[in-house]
Amino acid sequence: MGLGNIPKSICDAMRSIPCFSKYDVLVTPPSGNSTTLKLRYYLNEAAPTQPEHSAIFTKGRADYQTIACHRPKQWEQVDIAFLLNNALAFHDKLIKIENHRYRSWEHCYSFFTRHQSAADDEIIDLMCLHLSNYLASWGMFRGAAFLLQKDYKVHLEVVHLMLNERFHILRSKNIREIAHNDEYINRIFELNQKISEIYRRKTTDFENENGRNSSDTLISKILLGVFGCVPAYDRYFKNGLRSTGIASAQFSKSSVAGLLQFYEHYYDDFEAVRLKISEHGVEYPPMKIIDMCFWQIGFDSDTQKEESEQE
């Protein structure tokens, strides 16, 4: 008799009934904070002498149901353990290498989170510095990037915009509230448009009469660094996402909505890893976990391709 995802209180009650006294614990989230369990109960004395080992990554099966009522068939084929191990591999670099450049995201995100209602000019100035350093260490000052020709104060108007309480909803980590929330998605792309307009105006000069366009990579990295509400749609992330078919690799409303619902579909699995990573001092938002999963896949794929071409 297989029963899954039932309240722990019910499980405890069933354990007290003689005919259900034999059971195996098949799944229990490693965080210990969830009441989501998966148990196998036996109706007779034919229980195995060696119980099955507990598993963390178990979902994605055809019989698993979530709040999402429309899920692409590709989601059922996902190797969720492989996907989440990529996020752990990404984060492992931060643990093993002191002052790794990936820490820049943590510093930026944490500072904006602590001061999300800031009005003090000195704090806002520091926000600009954090954002500038994070973007530099994440590759946004390369080559012909317009930020390379600007000081950190070019971000001042953008920072003031993002501090508007209208966008506080983007700090929500509750996937089950935001995965189907049109307002949440609309706020993201409202910011996308307004940030792009600000930078275009800031880069209008005698060399660029119409200003410079802001790439999806830049805007999504800013939103990831400040709110953690979207992954960074850079080359590696998009290649990793494209290879799975889970959602569109273009920075769009449908892509972001699809990723939010994908996280919801594998909620316990993603949350187990998110909580494990967050034990190291910074509470990671769901979309940062998504970012690490697919970025690492894209990066590894590109690295393997380069190595094979050199052979």
Q: Give the chain's mean pLDDT.
A: 81
The model's pLDDT over 247-272, given as tens digits with 9 standing for 90+, comes to 999 999 999 999 999 999 999 999 99
Write phi, then psi, for 42 (nearest 5 degrees). Answer: -115, 135
229-235 own/partner pairs: CB under 8 Å, 24+ apart? 229/170, 229/171, 229/184, 229/188, 229/285, 229/287, 230/188, 230/256, 230/287, 231/259, 231/287, 231/288, 231/290, 231/291, 231/294, 231/295, 232/138, 232/291, 232/295, 234/139, 234/295, 235/298, 235/302
Residue 226 CB neighbours (<10 A)? 26
pTM > 0.95: yes or no: no
- Supply the DSSP symbol for 186: H
pLDDT tens, 171-197?
A: 999 999 999 999 999 999 999 999 999
The reported pLDDT for the residue numbered 9 is 53
- pLDDT (tens digit, 9 = 90+) per residue, 56-104? 333 333 333 333 335 567 788 889 999 999 999 999 988 898 888 889 9
Q: Are 202 and 196 in contact (CB under 8 A)?
A: no
The domain locations on the chain are 2-42, 73-306
Q: Which of 113, 89, 90 lies closest to 101, judged by CA?
A: 90
